[in-house]
Amino acid sequence: MCGIAGLICKPVRFSQPGSARDDLNQMLRAMQHRGPDGRGAFVRGNIAMGMVRLAIVDPEGGHQPLWNEDRTVALVCNGEIYNAAALRSSLTRTGHEFRTQSDVEVILHLFEEHGDHCFDMLEGIFAAAIWDRRRRAVHLARDRMGVKPLYYADSPTQFAFASEVGALAGLPRITGGIDGQALDDYHAFRYALRERTVYSGIRRLLPGHCAVVRNEGLHVAAYWSPHCMPAKWSRTQAVRSRPDDLRRLMYSAVESQLAHDVKSAVLLSGGLDSSALLAMRAHWIGRGADTAITVVFDSPKNGADRVEYSELEQARRVARTLDCAHLTRTVGAHEALEALPAIVSALDEPIADPTAIPLWFAARLARQHDCKVVYSGEGLDELFAGYDIYGHAQWMSTLGLTPRALRARLRDWLAHHNVRGAGVLDRSLGDVAAWYQGVGGVFTQSELQSLLQSPPSQRDISRRVQSVLKGRRTLTQLQQMTLFDIATWLPDNTLAKSDKIAMAHSVELRVPYLDNRVVDFALACPDEQKWNGRGKRVVRQALSGVVPGWVLRRRKAGFNVPISAWLFGEWNGYAREMLLGHTARTANLYNQKDIARLLHTPPAGQERAGRLLFTLLMFELWLRGNTHARLPRSRERSAALVD
C-alpha cells in the first residue's frame, strides 16, 4: 500500500524540471503517512511520477516506480493484486521478465500485453498510474469497487493526480474554490457523490474506470460497472444463488487476501460480518493465531445506558469462542472530541460518518501493536440488503397494490390532519430517485430550504440519484436502492473513510467481502434471497455452521456511536461555539436560527437532530483546517449570528 502522485505538463516538457520535482515532492510529503517505509520518483520530459510506500508484499524488493524490461513503461500503484501469482505464471510463459516479487508488477507486464483491457483481469484493490513512453500517454485506473482512492486535477497547462485530495489542493495551480454541487450533496447525503469532490478543480476517478492522459486531452471510460440481474430471471437465478456457493466464495476471498509477511488483525464489532471474517480466517491460519480489535464507548451522561454503545461483551464472547487475542479500547466523550479535528483532517474531504471515530482509535491501536494490515467486514450490507432502510422497498411494493388515486387522497388527508404516514404514501407515488437519499441521507429537502442560505432544489437532489440509476428503471426498487449505495455510499463514504483513517496511521485496510466473485454473486442474487423481513438472508444461510448460532440469530445492531448523546451532553458547549460563535466559518452558509433550534431540540427528537448537527460540525471543522478553501459566492450572503 502507498500513496501515488504525478504531474503531466501539457507542453512538450517541463520548462523547469526542478520545479516539477519540487511539486511532486510536495505532494508526496503531504501523503507521507500513507507510506513511511520508502519513497520513489522520476522526472522524464513532461512526466513526473512518484510514490510513498507502506511495505506489505516483498518488503525488500518491491520499491516503485516499477519498470518493464526496456524501461519504456513505468508503474506506480497503490494496492494489492490477489490473483498476482496466476497472472505472473502466465506472463512468464509468454516471455516477460519479473524483477521483483511485488504483486503489482504483474500490472506492468499485463498492460504491455493487453493495454487498458488489463484492468478488468485484476482481482484486487488498486489505484494505478502507468506511463507509456512509446505512446506518450499516462494511463490511470481504479479498482472495481473503489476501495483505493484516486483524484485528479486537469488544467490547460498541467494534469495532476494523487491518492488524496489534500495532496492536489496544495499545488500552486489549484484554486481553493468549493464546488457548489458537491456542497449540496454533502448536506443531502453527508458526502460528495461520484466524480465531484469538495474542490471545484479536483475530480475523483470513479470505481471501475480508467483514464488516458495525453497532450491533446483526457479520456475517461468505464471498464466495469455494477449491473443487477433483471427480476424476470430471478427464479432461474435463485437456483444458482445457493448458500453453499456463497460460502465457498467467501472462504476463497478471505484466503486470497491473507497478509503472510506482516502482522494483521480483524476489526471485531461482535456482529455477524466481522465475526464470520474472524472465523473464516481461523480456517486458514489456525485457531489461536489471529488478533481481533474492538473499540467501544463509555456511556454518555446525556441519554439512556444503551448497550449498543458498548458491544464489548458480545465481541469478547466471539473472541473467546474463536480463541484469538483480543485488543480492546473504551473511548469517552472528551477523548473522542479531542481527536475529532485530527479525524477530520485525516478524512481529507468532508464526510460526516460517525464511524470514523471508532475506526480512528482502532487503527491507532493496530499500529501500536505493530499490525500493518487490518481486515474489515464492510460490504455485505450493501451487497445483500443488510440495512433496515432496504425494508422500505417491501413497503413500497405492498402499497403499490393499492390504486394510485386512493393513495394520493389518503396522503393528502393524513398530511392535512398531521397524522403520521403521509411521507410513506408520498414516496410510494414516485420512483426511487424521487425519494431515496441512500443509507447516509441526512437533511430533508424542506430542512435544506430553511437551513442553507442558498439551498438546492428538490429537482437537483433527485437528479443526482437519477444520474446514478440511469438505465436501471426496469430493476426492482430494492435493486435500485442497493445499486445506488454500491455506486455512491460504499466508495464515496464508507471506503473513502476507511482508507483515509487507516492510512493516517500507516495501516492498510482490506475488505475481503468486496472480492470480485462475491460482488458478482450478489449482483446476480434475486431479491428474495436478500430480504425476507430482514436483510442478508442468503448470507445468514451461508454462514450457518461458520459462526455460532447465537451470532446468526442476533438482530443487526450496527456500529452505533453516541453522537447525539454527546452533542446534547458533553459536546454541547463545543458545538455551540463552533457553529454559532463569531469565528464560525459557516456563519454565511447556514441560517443560524436553524442551528440554534437544532441545539435546543427536545429529548424526543435529539437522536436525529444530533446526526444533523454532526454533519454541520464536521464541515465547520473541515473549513477551519483548510483555510484556503473558499465557499461559492452564492453562499456568502450574510446571516445574523445568534448569541
Strands (E), 312-417: 325-331, 373-375
334 vs 404, residue with greater confidence: 334
Residue 307 has pLDDT above 60, yes or no: no
**Cβ atoms of residues 58 and 85 within 8 Å:** no
Instruction: Supply the mean pLDDT for the chain.
Output: 86
Mean pLDDT computed over 571-594: 92
Please report, for residues 32, 56, 233, 559, the alpha-carbon distance to residue 357 in angstroms, rounded to integers and kept in the order given.
22, 25, 42, 11
Task: Find, among 131, 145, 150, 139, the residue nearest to 31 by Cα.
Answer: 150
pLDDT category, 581, cuts 50, 70, 90? very high
Task: Find, among 210, 207, 240, the residue nearest to 379 by Cα.
Answer: 207
Angle separating helix axes 572-580 and 592-599, nearest 10 degrees? 170
Q: Would strands 325-331 and 373-375 be described as parallel, antiparallel, or unpaired? A: unpaired
Output the pLDDT for position 619.
95
Mean pLDDT computed over 183-194: 92
Please report, for residues 53, 170, 258, 546, 569, the alpha-carbon distance to residue 280 in angstroms, rounded to integers and kept in the order given.
29, 43, 11, 7, 41
Residue 185 has pLDDT above 80, yes or no: yes
DSSP 216-278: TEEEEEES----PPPGGGHHHHHHH--HHHHHHHHHHHHHHT--SSS-EEEE--SSHHHHHHH
Output the pLDDT for position 641.
35
Q: Would strands 217-222 and 203-204 be described as parallel, antiparallel, or unpaired? A: unpaired
3-class DSSP assignment, residue 131 = strand
CA distance 456 to 19: 41
pLDDT category, 642, cuts 50, 70, 90? very low
Least confident of 96-100, 306-310, 456-460, 548-552: 306-310
Output the pLDDT for position 447.
84
pLDDT category, 262, cuts 50, 70, 90? confident
Omega within 30 of 0 (cis) for the link into 632: no
3-class DSSP assignment, residue 160 = strand
1 vs 177, residue with greater confidence: 177
Total-model pTM:
0.90
Q: Give the torsion sign (CA, 162, 168, 173, 177).
A: positive
Report phi then psi at 514, rounded to 5. -100, 20
Residues 6+ apart with CB under 8 A from 583: none
Residue 305 has pLDDT above 80, yes or no: no
Output the pLDDT for position 246.
95
Identify the residue whose cell numbers are 491507532: 364
Mean pLDDT computed over 163-187: 88
DSSP 479-515: HHHHHHIIIIIIIIIIIHHHHHHHHHTT-EEE-GGG-
Task: Find, among 69, 171, 83, the residue nearest to 124 by Cα.
Answer: 83
Q: Give the torsion sign (CA, 445, 451, 457, 461).
A: negative
pLDDT category, 473, cuts 50, 70, 90? confident
536 vs 394, residue with greater confidence: 536
3-class DSSP assignment, residue 373 = strand
Residue 635 has pLDDT above 80, yes or no: no
pLDDT tens-digit map of 27-73: 999 999 998 877 888 888 889 999 998 776 666 666 889 998 889 99
225 vs 237, residue with greater confidence: 225
Mean pLDDT computed over 531-556: 87
**Cβ atoms of residues 92 and 110 within 8 Å:** no
Residue 370: count other Cβ atoms within 10 Å of its Cβ: 9
Q: ∠ CA 513-518-523 to the nearest 5 degrees?
A: 120
pLDDT category, 633, cuts 50, 70, 90? low
> C-alpha grid cell for residue 529?
434471497
Q: ∠ CA 446-625-39 to the nearest 5 degrees?
A: 125
Output the pLDDT for position 416.
74
Residue 86: count other Cβ atoms within 10 Å of its Cβ: 11
Residue 500 has pLDDT above 80, yes or no: yes
Least confident of 236-245, 325-334, 470-479, 519-528: 236-245
Residue 558 has pLDDT above 60, yes or no: no
pLDDT category, 254, cuts 50, 70, 90? very high
Specify the CATH architecture of the domain 2-222.
4-Layer Sandwich (3.60)
Please report, for residues 48, 99, 211, 217, the alpha-carbon distance to residue 115 in angstroms, rounded to integers and kept in the order given.
21, 20, 12, 18
Q: ∠ CA 345-351-357 to the nearest 5 degrees?
A: 65
CA distance 49 to 5: 6
CA distance 62 to 66: 8
Mean pLDDT computed over 363-370: 95
Residue 545 CB burial class (10 angstroms; 0-12, 13-18, ≥19): exposed
Report phi then psi at 143, rounded to 5. -65, 165
Identify the residue whose cell numbers are 469565528: 583
pLDDT tens-digit map of 600-612: 999 888 888 999 9
pLDDT category, 381, cuts 50, 70, 90? very high
Residues 6+ apart with CB under 8 A from 293: 265, 266, 267, 268, 327, 328, 329, 362, 365, 366, 371, 374
Structural domain boundaries in the chain: 2-222, 563-635
Identify the residue whose cell numbers are 510529503: 29
> C-alpha grid cell for residue 370?
505493530
3-class DSSP assignment, residue 77 = strand
> C-alpha grid cell for residue 524?
446476480
% of the chain surpassing 90 pLDDT: 52
Task: Find, among 307, 326, 132, the residue nearest to 210 by Cα.
Answer: 132
**Cβ atoms of residues 61 and 38 within 8 Å:** no
Q: Supply the DSSP symbol for 78.
A: E
Identify the residue whose cell numbers are 436553524: 594
CA distance 251 to 568: 44
Least confident of 33-47, 245-259, 316-330, 534-548: 33-47
**Cβ atoms of residues 304 and 270 within 8 Å:** no
% of the chain surpassing 70 pLDDT: 90
Residue 365 has pLDDT above 90, yes or no: yes
Residue 239 has pLDDT above 70, yes or no: no
3-class DSSP assignment, residue 152 = strand
Can you give the length of the chain in residues?
643
